[in-house]
Structure 1
Amino acid sequence: MATSTAAASKSGLYADPRPDWLALRKEEVIDPQRPIVDPHHHLWDRGGQRYLIEEITDDIASGHNIVATVYVEARSMYRAGGPEALRPVGEVEFANGAAAMSASGGYGTASICAGIVGHANLLLGEGARAVLEAEMAAGNGRFRGIRHSSPWDADPEVAGIYAMRPKGLLLDETFRKGFACLAPLGLSFDAWLYHPQIGELADLARIFPDTKIVLDHCGGPIGLGGYASRRQEIFTGWKASIQDIAKCPNVVVKLGGLAMRLLGYDFHERPVPPSSEDVAAAWRPYIETCIEAFGPARCMFESNFPPDKGQCSYQVIFNAFKRIAAPCSEAEKTALFSKTATEVYRLRLK
């Protein structure tokens, strides 16, 4: 039986998944027929951790009706050689390979990696366009946009693996020249940051109103380090930032990423994994705030697997989302679980 202490990931921002511990919690799936598009997951094989098509297939086979997924960059399978700027193209090739495997029908009915979000270094300025065009070609019709992560915080416990990232990246003039390459190519931008930086993203969104921006993980509310003892104060500031950026019509938000250690909950340290009721109670204030600010048509539930797998199973995480969405109308639920993601990432489903 698993011990009650979870292994910390190298990033420090999420706990390592432990299948034996997760197996201690099984639930009946709520509303099992509802179609779900999971718009945010990763695939990787590194540091002793393997999460490839077989692993995500096993997770999504746990009872929910997952019809498609979107792959989001994780610095996986970069090219080992060639020009530095083009090495991220290897990740798009890798994700497209997983999509081709899924399309064979040998890994279940869900369309894995139906959409692909890669990475291009926007600090290349106008030179980023050549990388984006190469990724479009590598994606074989599945490439939808990029993520250039920008988390920064002065607290080393919060910074984690992002400690070397520059402060104020989203405000950088050269970065914005690279960002300007996205809209003409019909590409979107996934934004991963910490909640004190939401204002910087709002400024970017207003400067580039024609670029679709996806705010990942509810805007990265922090509950670690120096933020840990100020949950209500932090929530109030985070909420104000969410309400402000929601005024930008080109921004949508992913509801999830809350099972990372970043939020400050200790689910991964408990002897038994949390129930969907436990998780829903903890996350409801954040998710309901986002839905109220953006509206269901600009919100989408995400798994953020495998990082969120450190605190709860795929079965539990989507049960929690369904509990939170229970008061919503049928049209609103459709938007939250599939329609928004399908439209934002322009997915061609079976």
Structure 2
Amino acid sequence: MRVDAHHHLWSLGAVDYPWLMAKGVVRFFGDPTPIQRDYPLAQFRHDAAGFGASVHIQVGAADPWAEAQWVQSVADATPDWPLVQVAFCDLTASDAGEAIDRLQTLSSLRGLRQIVGRAPGEDAATGTDALLDNPAFVQGLRDLAARCLSFDLQLIPAQYDRMARVLDHAPDTQIALCHAGSPHDRSAQGLADWARQLKHLSERPNVVCKLSGLGMFDHHWTVDSIRPIVETCLEQFGAARCMFGSNFPVDRLYSDYQSLIDAYSALVPAHDHAAVFGGNAARFYSLGDTATL
């Protein structure tokens, strides 16, 4: 069974998403206007025809607990679709432990995400990379291993080396690198620099890589334009540590789902399809035996 390891759902009536409803605000990934409407599981399942399970990734709700509860309600209402989630928690907050305790009452919870970096311009404004110098962030990552929770890591290449040093203090925490590490500079030199920096993360055995979100920095992508990214990830991490994620509905701004699958299917060797398109995600996020999903 195929598993989408990275997508979002949202209900504008049930959860408040300030970034999503901001009118006329262009983000690093483009103009969100076309996706400023509900994106329920039924729509995702229609888009992801041929898939049978998925991982919901937190999406910047004003109240992370409200979002996590809503995702749990979706999972409970659709037992024929195995749906697990990665929720948000500020690992540096004084009440982080209590917040995680509450999140762990949800049976769909598998991990947490706290974004370190999105894009150079936005990061300069938000200062999210200050996490890398915060001892509480390191301790929070370390504590996740004891809780059997993973961490979804979103950041940009300039932050890889510092993040690697942080991860050295949390070697038992399982890390999923989002969006191939967000290689935002798609020039030949930019990709060469990204590939070199990526080794800081790929050399850590507790890090796996998501082949996801590649359209956010290349709205007119082609199989050939994303080829060096996919091939580098497969080379550095190995097929056993790579997993497909659609990043829908954000990447729906630039592509339909079938085009994504066709492109990745052409770039991932056929003998690795079962692992990259299902088995690895099922194992990492404890979705059970994909043969029985």
Q: Do they superpose with TM above 0.5?
A: yes
1:177 Cα deviation after fit: 2.5
Compute the RMSD of aligned alpha carbons. Answer: 1.9
Judge conservation of contact 1:152–1:167 (CA < 8 Å) in 2.
no
Match of 1:6 in 2: none
Per the alignment, residue 118 of structure 1 pairs with 87
* 2:289 pairs with 1:308: no
Match of 1:32 in 2: none
- Supply the distance in 2 between the matched residues of 1:187 and 1:94 (Cα, whole angstroms): 20
Deviation at residue 329 of structure 1 after TM alignment: 5.0
Unmatched segments (≥5 aa) in structure 2: 13-20, 22-35
Residue in structure 2 matching 1:59, options 47, 50, 67 = 47
Q: Kindly indicate whether residue 171 of structure 2 is the aligned counterpart of residue 203 of structure 1.
A: no
Kept after mapping to 2: 8 A contact 1:70/1:115: yes
Alpha-carbon separation, structure 2, partners of 1:52 and 1:200: 37
Q: Could you tell me which residue of structure 2 aligns to residue 193 of structure 1?
A: 155
User: Which residues in structure 2 correspond to 1:262-273 (within 5 Å)?
Assistant: 262=217, 265-267=218-220
CA offsets 1:19-60 (integer angstroms, 9 cap, x no match): xxxxxxxxxxxxxxxx31001001123424221112212211
Q: Does 1:282 align with 2:230?
A: no
Query: In the alignment, is the contact (CA less than 8 A) between 1:152 and 1:163 conserved in 2?
Result: no
Structure number, greater radius of gyration: 1
Partner residue, 1:274? none
Offset at 1:117? 0.3
Letter in structure 2 aligned against 1:280: V
1:174 shift after superposition: 2.1
> Per the alignment, in what secondary structure is the counterpart of residue 44 of structure 2?
helix
Say how many residue pairs are matched: 268
Q: Secondary structure at the match of 2:38?
A: strand
Corresponding letter in the other structure for 1:166? T
**1:92 matched to 2:58:** no
Answering whether residue 160 of structure 2 is matched by residue 217 of structure 1, we say no
Give distance in 2, aligned partners of 1:266 and 1:119: 27
Amino acid paired to 1:144: R
Are 1:147 and 2:113 an aligned pair? yes
2:115/2:128 contact within 8 Å kept: no
Structure 1: distance between partners of 2:219 and 2:60: 27
> Compared with structure 1, are the counterparts of its residues 316 and 188 closer, same or farther at alpha carbon in structure 2 (3 Å cutoff)?
same
Q: CA deviation at 1:163?
A: 2.7
| Aligned partner of residue 333 in structure 1, secondary structure | helix
Q: Is the 8 A contact 1:124 1:178 kept in 2?
A: no
Q: Which runs of 4+ in 1 moved over 6 A?
A: none
Match of 1:334 among 263, 266, 274: 274
Partner of 1:180: 142
In structure 2, the partner of 1:81 is none
- 1:127-146 equivalences under 5 Å are 127-137=95-105, 139-140=106-107, 142-146=108-112
Q: Displacement of 1:120 after TM fit?
A: 0.6
SS in 1 for 2:224: helix
1:111-133 Cα deviation digits (max 9, x unpaired): 3xx221001111115x3121111
Mean alpha-carbon deviation: is it higher for 165-174 or for 93-102?
165-174
1:167 shift after superposition: 3.3
Deviations 1:211-239 (A, max 9, x none): 0011000001113xxxx7xx122111100
Q: Which amino acid aligns with 1:238?
A: W
Q: Following the alignment from structure 1 to structure 2, what is the Cα–Cα distance between the partners of residues 102 and 212?
A: 28
> What letter matches 1:121 in structure 2?
D
Matches of 1:165 and 1:58, distance apart in 2: 37
Contact 1:205 1:251 in 2 (8 A): no
Give the drift of 1:304.
0.5
The Cα shift of 1:266 comes to 4.0
- Secondary structure of the 2:163 match is helix
User: Equivalent residue for 2:7?
Assistant: 41
CA distance in 1: counterparts of 2:177 and 2:46, whole angstroms: 27
The one-letter amino acid of 1:120's match is C
Counterpart residue identity of residue 93, structure 2: L
Measured in 1, the distance between the counterparts of 2:154 and 2:247 equals 12
Q: Deviations over 1:145-191 (max 9, x none)?
A: 100011166x53xx17x832333322311222222321110110001
**1:333 shift after superposition:** 1.9
CA distance in 2, matches of 1:205, 1:312: 34
1:74 counterpart letter in structure 2: V
| Residue in 2 that maps onto 1:71 | 56
Unmatched 5+ residue regions in structure 1?
1-34, 79-86, 268-277
